[in-house]
Amino acid sequence: MHSDLRDEYLRAMGIQQWVARTGLPAEPGPEPAAVLAQDAHSPVPEDAATLDWPALEARVAACTQCALHETRTRTVFGVGQQQADWLIIGEAPGADEDRAGEPFVGRAGQLLTEILTAGGIRRADVYITNIVKCRPPNNRDPHADEAAHCHAYLERQIELLQPRLILAMGRIAAHHLLQTDTPVGRLRGTVHHYGPREIPLIVTYHPAYLLRSPLEKRKVWTDLQLAQAVP
């Protein structure tokens, strides 16, 4: 862990030291609720459920299942340790990610790295991906059908990774994974579970939201503590 970055992030949130806590209460949040039509999850395209990491990434790179392929520069498959304990899921690539072909590389990605570092977690030790693998035009929210077409790819990533914990960052990721329209502020502070293996899932705010609302950083710190307390 880089102690200087950790201390800087904690000071920015007005936190003097880390104290592990569990059972954090959920709080109302300012993000609006929205549903991604979770029952619209698409069937697995062709043989995606049998592909290994290289073949799955190649399949995503060649995907034309929805209109997003017409405007993308590059697909954004995911990055990180493919045997990671933690899987971090955001919503969709932005302009920086579309150019780089890697998730969370812009300002929000830099803040995510700082958040992880503050908790003693190296970015290289987690796996990071998004609900959709192509950038929606003008950075709009992904549509329900776009998320549905990418769902099989995400499911295969989860199956290959076998993570111990999922960290859902932001409204889009939380609503899609938990099949709910409950506001993020009310989903926080609880250990949810995802899929047939009941993978523990923690909901927190997206770093892009924190750039607009920096006073909410303290809440993300408590979310990170809750995630670290999961057995």
Three-state SS for the chain is: CCHHHHHHHHHHHCCCCCCCCCCCCCCCCCCCCCCCCHHHCCCCCCCHHHCCHHHHHHHHHCCCCCHHHHCCCCCCCCEECCCCCEEEEECCCCHHHHHHCCCCCCHHHHHHHHHHHHCCCCHHHCEEEECCCCCCHHHCCCCHHHHHHHHHHHHHHHHHHCCCEEEEECHHHHHHHHCCCCCHHHHCCCCEEECCCCEEEEEECCHHHHHHCHHHHHHHHHHHHHHHHCC
Q: Is the pLDDT of residue 22 over 90?
A: no
The pLDDT confidence band at residue 140, using thresholds 50, 70 and 90, is: very high
Confidence class for position 134, pLDDT limits 50, 70, 90: very high
Question: pTM of the prediction?
Answer: 0.82
Residue 28 has pLDDT above 60, yes or no: no
> What's the chain's average pLDDT?
86
Q: What is the pLDDT of residues 65-102, one digit of tens each?
A: 999 999 999 999 999 999 999 999 999 999 999 999 99
**pLDDT band at 43, cuts 50/70/90?**
very low
Task: Tell me the C-alpha distance between 105 and 176, whole Å.
Answer: 22
The stretch 171-184 carries a mean pLDDT of 97
* C-alpha separations of 109 from 8, 16, 31, 93 in Å: 17, 24, 20, 11
Q: What per-residue confidence (pLDDT) applies to 87? A: 98
| Amino acid 32: pLDDT | 34
pLDDT above 70 as % of the chain: 80
Mean pLDDT for 181-205 is 97
Mean pLDDT for the stretch of residues 181-191: 97
Show the domains of the chain with their CATH numbers.
3-23+41-229 (3.40.470.10)
Question: Is 50 exceeded by the pLDDT of residue 230?
Answer: yes
